[in-house]
Chains A and B, each alone.
Chain A
Amino acid sequence: MSQIFPKKINKLLPLLVAIKLIVVVSAVFFIWYYFSPQYTDVGYRPVQPIAYSHKFHAGDLGIDCRYCHTGVETGRFAQIPPTQVCMNCHSMVGKDNPKLAPLFESWETGKPIQWVRVHDLPDYSYFNHAAHIRAQIGCESCHGNVSQMEVVTRVKPLSMGWCLDCHRNPAPHIRPQNMITRFDWKPTDTQITEAQKIMLEKNINPKTECSVCHR
């Protein structure tokens, strides 16, 4: 009986195995990379109803974060400022600027401005801004250098693994009290020892259990 397959077919087997391997590896890589928040979420920069520039307000003018985000030290949410806060200055400044038309419209009609959320956590995780500010984590650690952003962009993945990285080893992210809202801080050589001192003093021992964030 003659052979059904020619002999050279034998060479195909390693090739098939190799192809299979490549497919599997690339599939794993594809999912691991392209499905991760690092890929899907970092770089998210939606268009806002008003082209508000953090670079101009926080960077060039040097307005402190807390001028607008007033809840950050006391509440769970940092708070997006009410129209009223914008009008503190803009009732005088930029009255003729067409870019600000939605702001004035909101002020006149009493209808709020609908900002698009950039840093969005899933609804089943409960993040508390005040707790992190108390622990002297800088705004920059999660939000990046906002003072240089013309359009606010998400620069960190805000994934659970990323949160846990810091919860397991918070020291590198702990800053001096007066540097929390600053964007020009650079860790010094003694930063880690200082951070450890702060952790001891303030009893900062972040937990990694589920119940810390999930209820």
Chain B
Amino acid sequence: MKKEKPTFWRSFNHLENNQEYQNFLTQEFPQGAEQLSDPVTRRNFMKIMSASAALAGLTACRMPKETIVPFVHAPEKMIPGTPKYYATVLSIGGLAKGVLVENHDGRPTMIQGNDKHPSSLGAVNEFDQASILSLYDPERLKISSHNGAPQTWSQFETYWREKSATFVKTKGEGLAVITNSNPSITFARLQKDFVSKFPKATWVSYDALDTSNIQEGLKLIQSKNITPFYQFDKAQVVVSFGHDFLGTDSDSTRHQKGFSKRRRVRDKEDAMNRLYAVESSFTLTGSNADHRIKLNPSEMDSFVLAVYQEVAKHVSLPKVGGTPNAHGHDSWVKALAKDLLAHHKNSVISAGKASSPQVHALVHLLNQALGNVGQSVFYTPTSNTDNLSSLVEKAKNNQIKTLIVLGANPAYDTAFDLSFADVMSKSGEVIVAAIAENETTQKANWILAQSHALESWSDALFQDGTQSIAQPMIRPLFDTQSDIEILNLLTNLSPKQGYEIVRDTWKGQNWNQILHDGLKNGSSFVSVAFSPKGSIQIEESKHAGLEIEFIPSASTLDGQFANNGWLQEMPHPITKISWDNPAWISPSFAKKNNLKNGQMITLSKEGRSLTLPVWIVPGQPNNTITLELGFGRSVCGSIGKDVGFNTYQLRSHKHPYAESGFEMKASSEVVTLANTQDHGSMEDRPLVRMATLEAFRKNPAFAKEAVEHPPLKSLWKEHPYTEGYQWGMSIDLNTCTGCNSCLIACQTENNIPIVGKEQVNKGREMHWIRMDRYFSGSEEDPMIVFQPVACVHCENAPCEQVCPVNATVHDEEGLNTMIYNRCIGTRYCSNNCPYKVRRFNFFNYIKESPIPTSKSKLVQMSNNPDVTIRFRGVMEKCTYCTQRIEEVRSHAKLENRAIKDGEIKTACQSACPSDCIVFGNINDPESEVSKLKKLEQDYAMLAEINIKPRTTYLAKLRNPNPEIEDHSSSSNHHGSH
């Protein structure tokens, strides 16, 4: 019998239900040689070793000698084995994020949010968390060097003393410094000193993910140097013009917190915000939108103008030139304008860094006219980022004698037409400070080994005025110095401890308190009034040929995290591809050009070209190819080296985010990409359940009614589970944005190994949380629903019934526990698991990992000592963070009290920026999780097979504008199976 097309689908194979998909379904772990591609295979090794192993005899029966190494001078208040938490601040992508770092016996192991800090509000994103792994990267720079010869810091000092003396005479003529934008207050202070010492020196601060259009746009309508500060928790209607505020925006954690606050629906009377997204390729923002419109990048400006003109019909707005064009969405624009006008002072319109300055100007004029300024949109002072082109010009004229690069990697992440390699070769001498070897250090004369942020004293200013101090979590692992120490050395010629330099900045302040809390509150909002300084003209979009859109990578950001295995292996939220960055194309583009997934194409324009594979992404605009930045690093550690394709090669200086006029040539070569979208598929059962807010109000129990089944009867006498604590979890699909933060949190907390591209391709990724991504609706314009799935801890667990050695059993508190020592690796449990959440250690991923650095003792320092490292041949899965339960339990017991609700937070829960995961005691009717489970939209996946999962979901709701006929959400999605 031919099945009907599924309502929710994961891939085209799934949609077509073809043979390839069927093969994947029936084979949980696809066929593959059970050995790594190492010439000395495990089997060979065993053959050789078996003889000697037999002779080794009984010595193993004796205990290995283990030593205890106590301190000589014990630090105060430190109890070995009991983690301590320190507040600090991380600056990734120029954003100050307040975090708490878990520190085990002097070794940072996990990064969690600081709920007092406005940029974190208790949550973190995947980059923040993964920076732990970057700290323990064994391929970091361990010592400074000069033309390849190792150098001490005092040698550099001597060198620089001499060198700078000549520059002091010339006031810095011929001296240039390049950095990325840095929110550190001390760094800014030292920069000022440096510039006043060398007034003629060039100081350039740039970002690969340039945000200057935002400031430039605001300059068109006022004169201050400001940047917008959106508060999505203050808005009922949210409009994003290419602003991925839930995804790759550096401030996404705060945005997700705010956005989810207004999106959460508990009761059918509850209000829910509405998100309109206009964008090119699918982003997390677009996938969470109630209405999404895909446009080719060149169509964006005229579309925004159409919205502007529509609103201008009803409120007074300055006149703007240009031809509005709704690109066929005229009724949509009308409805949007009406909705905005109906929510005066209660909406937000935002534009992304890729939008033109004119669009930004329009957006802020709109916000002002709609009364949002001062309500949901604020403005804060900012410093300008600079343009590299003036420096490049100077270098090309041989005017730069000494070029200093502090922490940046311009040889990799700058536009191709700046030809930065030339700049470096034409500069007399190049000094590069970097954490790890990169494309820039390769061409440097002096390489200065820089400390990681978790090893350095620093401080940071968050946009809203909050100031924080960053404290080191561990002494520098190698002979390195922090960026502040290096800049101090460059300016003041004498080395000084980072602590003292930062202390100088904070003189007279309540240092201890600020350090403890992780912040000092401040506010720096400026009041604004916008009016166009000149006439704003939206230029006629002219495009010929293919358009290319450049987006930041979800796993390497701009390339700086390329050597981070956790992030490389994390499947992309939209494409579900790990370890790669194919070009995204639309289904109809693929059909037209007869392209299939993985097929190599060559994109070229005016002398630049790049060959890379394609991936067909539903919801992609037809004439646009999307390229992820941040891959294809040529000089990098072994994890990131040559992974993916360097798309910076196609990026021009003038059009950093989108450019048209490309040509495409297809080749017949097809490569394999590690894609996880069909992994762990559960056929077409209604696993995600979704309805519109309206439908939910009419029938709140829609989710439960999605499946009809006879009365459930158990095959055996069931355990009552009515006493003591009974753990359970509720996941709100409505607020889940699919950001992958929980996935990395789980990986950090539970010592989950990375397995590499080849193994991922065989379905052997080890992530305990699988972020399922479902499309629904048409291929060309689908919606996306995310569903994080980990072990759901069934009360009648099917896995337990088939384990021949009792290695997976239930405990009294409802945990489906996994006892690694008993496991003999039959994999029956995984076979019998209806949710496909069990992971098998095909190898001893610590000792024989395909990832060369996994064997490093340094990497192993990132391990959580509270969780066992699993061996080859052992099954593993989510434990509900049993180590955290036990930790809290022993605390509570020592204080002679019961565990409080909310006291135990699983790792995924603590990281989630949308607060959609709630864990607790379901035996306590007053606990939050019990209350959530009583909600009408609560449902259990596969409830019809009576396995009673402890993790249940709150159904996804959408809040579409009734006036917009949405072609993609035409059918009812509440369980039409």
Residue ranges of A at the interface with B (Cβ–Cβ < 8 Å):
35, 40-41, 44, 46, 71, 74-77, 79-85, 106-107, 110-117, 120, 123-124, 126, 128, 130-131, 134, 202-203, 207, 209-212, 214-215
**Residues A112 and B72 in contact, CB atoms below 8 Å apart:** yes
A75-B81, A116-B65, A215-B883 are known contacts; what are 4 more A-B pairs with Cβ within 8 Å?
A: A76-B81, A83-B71, A110-B73, A214-B821
Nearest A residue to B809, CB-CB: A210
**Residues B80 and A71 in contact, CB atoms below 8 Å apart:** yes
Partner among A79, A126, A211 whose Cβ is within 8 Å of the Cβ of B80:
A79
Given contacts A84-B72, A209-B811, contact A114 B67 (CB under 8 A): yes
Given contacts A210-B817, A211-B811, contact A77 B81 (CB under 8 A): yes
Which A residues are CB-close (under 8 A) to B65? 46, 116-117
Q: Which of B882-935 contact A (CB under 8 A)?
A: 882-883, 886, 890, 893-894, 896
A45 and B821 CA atoms in complex are apart in Å by 27
Given contacts A82-B74, A84-B73, A215-B879, contact A202 B68 (CB under 8 A): no
Inter-chain CB contacts under 8 Å: number: 120
**Residues B817 and A40 in contact, CB atoms below 8 Å apart:** no
CB distance from B807 to the nearest CB of A (A): 9
**B387, CB-defined interface residue at 8 Å:** no
**Residues A112 and B69 in contact, CB atoms below 8 Å apart:** yes
**Residues A211 and B882 in contact, CB atoms below 8 Å apart:** yes
Q: Which of B55-86 contact A (CB under 8 A)?
A: 61-63, 65-74, 79-82
**Residues B79 and A126 in contact, CB atoms below 8 Å apart:** no
Which 4 A-B residue pairs are closest in the complex by CB-CB distance? A209-B811, A75-B79, A82-B71, A82-B74
Which B residues are CB-close (under 8 A) to A107? 72
Which B residues are CB-close (under 8 A) to A71? 79-82
Q: By DSSP majority rule, is chain B's interface helix, strand, loop, or mixed?
A: loop
Partner among B72, B79, B80, B886 whose Cβ is within 8 Å of the Cβ of A215:
B886
Flag B814-825 by CB within 8 Å of A: 1 or 0 each. 010101110000
Which B residues are CB-close (under 8 A) to A209? 809, 811-812, 817
Given contacts A75-B79, A79-B79, A112-B72, contact A123 B868 (CB under 8 A): yes
Partner among B66, B72, B80, B811 whose Cβ is within 8 Å of the Cβ of A210:
B811
**Residues A134 and B79 in contact, CB atoms below 8 Å apart:** no
**Residues A131 and B890 in contact, CB atoms below 8 Å apart:** yes
**Residues A214 and B868 in contact, CB atoms below 8 Å apart:** yes
**B474, CB-defined interface residue at 8 Å:** no
Nearest B residue to A46, CB-CB: B65
Flag B291-321 by CB within 8 Å of A: 1 or 0 each. 0000000000000000000000000000000
Nearest A residue to B885, CB-CB: A211
**Residues B79 and A124 in contact, CB atoms below 8 Å apart:** no
CB distance from B768 to the nearest CB of A (A): 13
Partner among A41, A115, A126 whose Cβ is within 8 Å of the Cβ of B70:
A115
**B867, CB-defined interface residue at 8 Å:** yes
CB distance from A3 to the nearest CB of B (A): 42
CB distance from B886 to the nearest CB of A (A): 7
A202 and B895 CA atoms in complex are apart in Å by 10
A80 and B896 CA atoms in complex are apart in Å by 27
CB distance from B824 to the nearest CB of A (A): 16
**Residues B896 and A202 in contact, CB atoms below 8 Å apart:** yes
**B439, CB-defined interface residue at 8 Å:** no
Please, could you name 13 A-B residue pairs with CB atoms under 8 Å apart, sorted by A?
A40-B62, A82-B73, A83-B70, A83-B71, A112-B70, A112-B71, A113-B70, A115-B67, A207-B812, A209-B812, A209-B817, A211-B811, A215-B879
Nearest A residue to B750, CB-CB: A215
Which A residues are CB-close (under 8 A) to B758? none
Nearest B residue to A106, CB-CB: B72
Nearest B residue to A110, CB-CB: B72
**Residues B71 and A114 in contact, CB atoms below 8 Å apart:** no
A85 and B815 CA atoms in complex are apart in Å by 42
Which B residues are CB-close (under 8 A) to A40? 61-63
Which B residues are CB-close (under 8 A) to A115? 67-70
CB distance from B235 to the nearest CB of A (A): 43
Nearest B residue to A129, CB-CB: B81
Partner among A41, A80, A130 whose Cβ is within 8 Å of the Cβ of B894:
A130
**B173, CB-defined interface residue at 8 Å:** no
Which B residues are CB-close (under 8 A) to A76? 81-82
**B866, CB-defined interface residue at 8 Å:** yes
A83 and B812 CA atoms in complex are apart in Å by 44
CB distance from A128 to the nearest CB of B (A): 5
Given contacts A80-B68, A82-B74, A112-B71, contact A214 B896 (CB under 8 A): no
A165 and B887 CA atoms in complex are apart in Å by 24
CB distance from A132 to the nearest CB of B (A): 10
Which B residues are CB-close (under 8 A) to A130? 890, 894
Which B residues are CB-close (under 8 A) to A131? 890, 893-894
A211 and B819 CA atoms in complex are apart in Å by 8
Nearest A residue to B864, CB-CB: A215
Given contacts A74-B894, A202-B896, contact A126 B67 (CB under 8 A): no
Given contacts A44-B63, A210-B811, contact A134 B70 (CB under 8 A): no
Nearest B residue to A213, CB-CB: B886
Partner among B71, B809, B812, B815 whose Cβ is within 8 Å of the Cβ of A84:
B71
